Structure 1
Amino acid sequence: MRSIGETARDSGLSVSALRFYDRAGLLVPAWVDPVSGYRWYGPEQLDEARLLARLRRAGMPLADLRLALAGWSGADTDLVRKLFEAHLRRLERALSDARSEFSALRALLDHRENPMTSPRTAAVRLSVPAPELAAALDAVRFAASTDPELPMLGGILFDIEGEELRVVATDRYRMAVAHAGATGHGGPRVQVIVPLPLADAMRPLLDGEEPARLAVDGDRVTLETGDRQAAGQCLDHDFPDYRRLVRLPAGRRALVDAAAFREALTTGPARTSEVRGPDGTSCDLSVLRVTDDGTVTVCEDGDDDRDNVAVNREFLLHALAAGARDQLVLELGAPTTPLVIRRPDDEPAFSILMPVRLEN
């Protein structure tokens, strides 16, 4: 017999999904402890659980899941094949419809004028303290996208306004914002997207104390320190209006010791997400709760409190490392509200992680 935790681990389904399928009558445990209510599964049920996990990732509806599982158990291969083919046709039609809609939306976007986010600008020259720009790039680099389908996110936004340079990166699942002082630019707000290879080439130039000289001329950006230079073309795309994305309702704030919290995440319980991440695979989730005394705890697997917040554990560890502080402030709102990681001494620099909805 396998415990529900072992079955979840070996099948790719979460513990909560197994509980749901039990209540729905799709995958009923071989035995339930009458005292504790703990579920146990027979060895032969592992194949059925793996089938459910695959069909769930493929988006098959519950009614068809029931038929497919019955056909699989009864060796009715014709029925199972027909269900697979019918669902695949539905997915292909839905994808075709979605492509048509997005094509129309792109056409609408092409006709909208948004000069505030155009990467093509007049010539700009400014000076930035090298340590500040280095720290800003380090704080946001982890959140940049590598998805070729979203080229506008494949770089770091340099947002120049007044005497401040903000750098921003996002891959839709997370976003990081940092800033550095800037002098020499007295004109209107300017935004350019620096491609990741160029941003990575700029970073080694910022290991000294002297100011860095940043120049933007049309679609070309140049960074100089001393006699060293990194230059290249900006991305010819519009970056999302990140300022709209950071207007979040106030959450429950907790001050955490970064090293201790990292250890708790690394060694604590994790759940397998039913939602695929940016690389198309499932991920480990850490489920968090803020206690009444302001302590953030990593919840045990059986803790399904409705106020808990689940996030991608790897993403959260990256954000803690990028925070580069012994102590960090965590803001947790509702389970559907992004988790915010801030520096206590520099709150305008922060990371946002999108939560992952837990199965009920």
Structure 2
Amino acid sequence: MPNSELMPIGDFARRSGLTSSALRFYADSGLLRPAETDPVSGYRYYDADQVARAALLRRLREIAMPLAAAGAVLDAEAVEASRLVDEHVAKVVGDAAAARQKAALIKYGLGDVPSLPIAALKGPVLADAVEQVLTATAHEPGLPVLAGLRVEASGEALTLTATDRYRLSTRTLVPAEPPDRSWAGTVDGDELRAAVTEIRRSALVSLEAVPHGIWLRVAGREHRHCRLLPGEFPDHRLMLASLGEVTTRVTVSKNLFLRAMEEHPGRRIALHVSADGMTVRPSDDGHPGLPLPATSSGPALRICFELTTLYPAVSTAIGPDVMLDLRGHDQPVTIRSADRGDLTTLAMPVGPGHSA
């Protein structure tokens, strides 16, 4: 007779989240043998200590880990098990990306796929612009467009825009070959990031729109396909057009500003702008702050930001100096290069006691 503390396979299945048939399969494969098997009936019994192993095995199989790899994780120490899980996930993601690209090539090769040339740009210029603007993206459930890059082609320019609702970053490029007609779409930001290396190594990149995506075509290299994201992109043009008048303007060294934020003790930053320059302080004023040499005009102003909003907005600015256009303590600030205006970022301030 089995030990009274052992569970029959049905009870163990309910506690572990595995079916009885799956438990029999894992027992036969050696991954999860029963604690005891009745020699007469062949019925299998499990110990309560086996529940954790069974639950882990179930989760590993839910991420499509092969049996051999799952067995290695189950028998490994925590650090090695974590490494094996990361290795498996990286392979799954890589395989999925490769399959997506191959599927795009297959669909394109089927013929009669309508396409529209958008524009042609120098690869390094496009790569830099994509990386700069994508810093303002975010992955939020139910809002896939916030993880995308809005691409708009019209007239003589190509505009790239991204927003996470706390920041908005936009850059306008002059194509080597201007757009034939207007086009707009929100391109998957993760797939664009994956394509940046190929883009940067290409002298010229041609953008071509197809149903549900765009092609990045480069001479002598593998063309890359990026999907379009569903949903309506936030009306950034309306937001830009509705900005209030600039009341205070300050120009400061980008590197000094970034260093001050890196050394800042808190997660919220207060900027104090006056005729004497700019001081970076904690938002609760419990620290004397770090004064920075800066040129300013307009009335003195105190404005607060989350570090995670302000730092990337400043770090992606072009050139040695950044210019901040301030409209009040509760209005968006425009952050741009002091001498090049083709990359512009808006950052939303917060109140001193705000909790993001």
**TM tier, shorter chain?**
0.5 to 0.7
Deviation at 1:299, TM superposition (A): 3.1
- The answer to whether residue 274 in structure 2 is matched with residue 291 in structure 1 is yes
- With normalisation by structure 2, the TM-score equals 0.58
Measured in 2, the distance between the counterparts of 1:172 and 1:306 equals 27
Greater radius of gyration (CA): 2
- Aligned residue for 1:137, secondary structure, equals helix
Deviation at 1:325, TM superposition (A): 2.5
1:55-134 aligned at under 5 Å gives the runs 123-134=116-127
Of 162-171 and 122-131, more deviation after overlay is shown by 122-131
- Aligned residue for 2:223, secondary structure, equals strand
Measured in 2, the distance between the counterparts of 1:251 and 1:245 equals 18
In 2 relative to 1, CA 197–299 (structure 1 residues): closer, same or farther, beyond 3 Å? closer
Measured in 2, the distance between the counterparts of 1:143 and 1:193 equals 14
Deviation at 1:181, TM superposition (A): 1.6
Measured in 2, the distance between the counterparts of 1:268 and 1:185 equals 45
Partner of 2:132: 139
Measured in 2, the distance between the counterparts of 1:123 and 1:225 equals 16
Partner of 1:276: none
- Aligned residue for 2:186, secondary structure, equals strand
In 2 relative to 1, CA 314–184 (structure 1 residues): closer, same or farther, beyond 3 Å? closer
Deviation at 1:216, TM superposition (A): 0.4
Partner of 1:348: 342
Measured in 2, the distance between the counterparts of 1:349 and 1:184 equals 19
- Aligned residue for 2:130, secondary structure, equals helix
- The answer to whether residue 241 in structure 2 is matched with residue 258 in structure 1 is no
Deviation at 1:347, TM superposition (A): 1.4
- The answer to whether residue 305 in structure 2 is matched with residue 322 in structure 1 is no
Partner of 2:285: 302
- The answer to whether residue 331 in structure 2 is matched with residue 337 in structure 1 is yes
Partner of 1:168: 161
Measured in 2, the distance between the counterparts of 1:209 and 1:231 equals 15
Kept in 1, the 8 Å contact 2:157–2:179? The answer is no
Measured in 2, the distance between the counterparts of 1:209 and 1:224 equals 9
Measured in 2, the distance between the counterparts of 1:244 and 1:122 equals 30
The structure, 1 or 2, with the larger RCO (C-alpha pairs under 8 Å, 6+ apart) is 1
Report the identity percentage.
Answer: 23
Partner of 1:311: 305
Unpaired runs of at least 5, structure 1:
1-120, 271-283
Measured in 2, the distance between the counterparts of 1:172 and 1:204 equals 28
Measured in 2, the distance between the counterparts of 1:217 and 1:314 equals 36
Partner of 2:34: none
- Aligned residue for 1:347, secondary structure, equals coil
Which deviations, in whole Å up to 9, do the C-alpha atoms of 1:221-275 show, x marking residues without a partner? 10022222110321122212211112322241111111111122222353xxxxx
Which deviations, in whole Å up to 9, do the C-alpha atoms of 1:307-338 show, x marking residues without a partner? 41101112211122211432111122211111
The one-letter code matched in structure 1 to 2:141 is: P
Deviation at 1:179, TM superposition (A): 2.0
The one-letter code matched in structure 2 to 1:236 is: P
The one-letter code matched in structure 2 to 1:264 is: A
Kept in 2, the 8 Å contact 1:269–1:286? The answer is no
Kept in 2, the 8 Å contact 1:269–1:298? The answer is no
Kept in 2, the 8 Å contact 1:155–1:195? The answer is yes
Measured in 1, the distance between the counterparts of 2:286 and 2:326 equals 17
Deviation at 1:133, TM superposition (A): 1.0
Partner of 1:213: 206
Deviation at 1:167, TM superposition (A): 0.6
The one-letter code matched in structure 2 to 1:256 is: V
Deviation at 1:159, TM superposition (A): 0.9
Kept in 2, the 8 Å contact 1:129–1:181? The answer is no
Kept in 2, the 8 Å contact 1:205–1:224? The answer is no
Deviation at 1:138, TM superposition (A): 1.8
Measured in 2, the distance between the counterparts of 1:318 and 1:312 equals 11
- The answer to whether residue 133 in structure 2 is matched with residue 150 in structure 1 is no
- Aligned residue for 2:341, secondary structure, equals strand
Measured in 1, the distance between the counterparts of 2:144 and 2:325 equals 30
**Aligned residues, how many?**
225
- The answer to whether residue 347 in structure 2 is matched with residue 357 in structure 1 is no
The one-letter code matched in structure 2 to 1:261 is: F
